[in-house]
């Protein structure tokens, strides 16, 4: 019987997931004694009864690298450590079914697992590794907030989508002498906001790493809108928040909150808010993401062959390397507020609200 390697995609989807799956299968097809199977909807496919798994061969992955989403499906609900089980009294309680899942993997002759996912998924990878599972992580998130890798695939495509949207909003803002606020994803880190603000030429960029002062934002606006003429484009990450102590950091509604603050503080110019939301997660991955995802997939399977378990694939200084999963999940990869890109942005007049 061939050895089996199980692949799962977990957490929010992201352009490039299919390119990773295809690369794993293509690389594995060169090894006579291995076959690849996929678990549907992260590890839930294994935990279901009957199990929901899919054989991944060359035919089933042909051409999928250009498709957004994941052919395996994904979820950030349930999983091996929090599986809802109905209790005798009819109520539901989350139970730890990790040991049961490992037994099922043994039964399927799964000798290695590749878990493609972000922070939450890699935390699961680490726990399974500590239980003896032969697991490899592949980093995935449009937010680019995973540590120890220069980039995660999906992030460049999300930046492209956000920049294209900003380009469109700039023309309508200019025509109507309006303030446009574009809210992008990024609960903890302002990577998409920063990159799209520089690429699209926003006047203001607000990110979670720099709590903003509404007066500073107003000042930047007043330089651009004189006697009702002029326009301003603001990019705000969903996790950005005002520095006043009485404002709570929040995950949704950052754009609306900013609009209300501007109006309350006397700004009379018309303001419109556009929330890009899941547009940033969908669609065709750009070439950079397809290439990075392909490199990650090949490397992940080669780590399986080398039994280099408990590690995550990463991109560092143009090299594809393996890093310990436990080190990647210690903290978020946040925007360095003293980085060259932030300095560049400031030099061309982008206001961060500080
Ligand atoms: O972590 C990726 C991400 O896209 C975040 O940027 C965003 O806040 C979140 O997922 C949205 O999650 P959901 O798809 O569950 O609404």
Task: Report, as an integer, the average pLDDT of 49-69.
Answer: 97
Q: Ligand 1 — pocket residues by CB below 6 A?
A: 12, 76, 118, 141-143, 185-187, 238, 281
Task: Report, as an integer, the average pLDDT of 335-341.
Answer: 98
DSSP per residue over 3-17, as a string?
EEEEEEE-SS--TTH
**Which residue's CA is the nearest one to ligand 1's atom 14?**
12
Task: Report, as an integer, the average pLDDT of 164-179.
Answer: 97
**Which residue's CA is the nearest one to ligand 1's atom 15?**
12
Residues 119, 143, 145, 289: which is the catalytic one?
143
Q: What is the pLDDT of residue 245?
A: 59
**Which residue's CA is the nearest one to ligand 1's atom 13?**
12
The residue assigned the tokens 């798994």 is 53
Ligand 1 centroid distance, CA of 116 (Å): 16
Determine contact, residues 188/146, Cβ cutoff 8 Å: no
Measured from the Cα of 239, ligand 1's closest atom is: 8
Q: How far is CA 120 from the centre of its chain?
A: 11
Task: Report, as an integer, the average pLDDT of 313-322.
Answer: 97
Task: Report, as an integer, the average pLDDT of 13-29.
Answer: 98
143 catalytically annotated: yes
| pLDDT tens string 227-279 | 999 999 999 999 999 998 566 655 559 999 999 999 999 999 999 999 999 99
Q: What is the pLDDT of residue 240?
A: 95
Ligand 1 centroid distance, CA of 119 (Å): 12
Q: What is the pLDDT of residue 340?
A: 98
| pLDDT tens string 211-241 | 999 999 999 999 999 999 999 999 999 999 9
Ligand 1 centroid distance, CA of 12 (Å): 6
Ligand 1 centroid distance, CA of 111 (Å): 31
Q: What is the pLDDT of residue 200?
A: 98
Angle at CA of residue 187, ends 183 and 188, nearest 5°: 130
- Record the pTM: 0.95
Domains of the chain: 3-154+285-316 (3.40.50.450), 157-281+337-347 (3.40.50.460)
The continuous run of DSSP H or E covering 53 comes out as strand 53-56
Q: What is the pLDDT of residue 248?
A: 62
Q: What is the pLDDT of residue 196?
A: 98
Q: Which of 74, 75, 72 is nearest to 61 (CA)?
A: 72
Instruction: Count each helix (H run) and each strand (E run) in the chain, helices first.
Output: 12, 13
């Amino acid at each position: 019987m061939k050895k089996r390697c199980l692949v799962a995609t977990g957490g929010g989807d992201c352009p490039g997931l299919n390119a990773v799956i295809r690369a794993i299968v293509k690389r594995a097809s060169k090894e006579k004694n291995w076959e690849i199977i996929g678990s549907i909807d992260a590890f839930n496919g294994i935990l279901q009864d009957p199990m929901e798994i899919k054989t991944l061969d060359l035919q089933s992955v042909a051409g999928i690298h250009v498709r957004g989403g994941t052919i395996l499906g994904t979820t950030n609900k349930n999983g091996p450590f929090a599986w809802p089980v109905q209790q005798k009294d009819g109520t539901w309680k989350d139970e730890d079914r990790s040991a049961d899942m490992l037994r099922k993997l043994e039964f399927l002759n799964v000798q290695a697992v590749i878990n493609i996912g972000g922070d939450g998924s890699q935390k699961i990878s680490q726990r399974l590794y500590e239980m003896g599972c032969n697991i490899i992580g592949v980093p995935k998130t449009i937010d680019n907030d995973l540590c120890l890798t220069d980039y995660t695939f999906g992030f460049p495509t999300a930046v492209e989508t956000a920049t294209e949207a900003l380009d469109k909003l700039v023309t309508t803002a200019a025509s109507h002498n309006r303030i446009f606020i574009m809210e992008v994803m990024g609960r903890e880190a302002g990577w998409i906001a920063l990159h799209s603000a520089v690429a699209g030429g926003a006047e203001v960029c607000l990110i979670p790493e720099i709590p903003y002062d509404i007066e500073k934002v107003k000042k930047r606006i007043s330089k651009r809108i004189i006697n009702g003429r002029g326009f301003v484009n603001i990019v705000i990450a969903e996790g950005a928040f005002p520095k006043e102590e009485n404002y709570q950091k929040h995950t949704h509604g950052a754009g609306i909150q900013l609009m209300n603050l501007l109006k309350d503080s006397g700004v009379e110019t018309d303001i419109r808010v556009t929330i890009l939301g899941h547009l940033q997660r969908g669609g065709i991955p750009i070439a950079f993401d397809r290439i990075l995802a392909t490199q990650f997939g090949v490397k992940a399977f080669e780590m399986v062959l080398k039994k280099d378990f408990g590690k995550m694939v990463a991109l560092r200084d143009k090299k594809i390397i393996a890093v310990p999963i436990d080190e990647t999940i210690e903290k978020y990869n946040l925007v360095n507020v003293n980085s060259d890109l932030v300095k560049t942005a400031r030099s061309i007049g982008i206001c961060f609200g500080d």
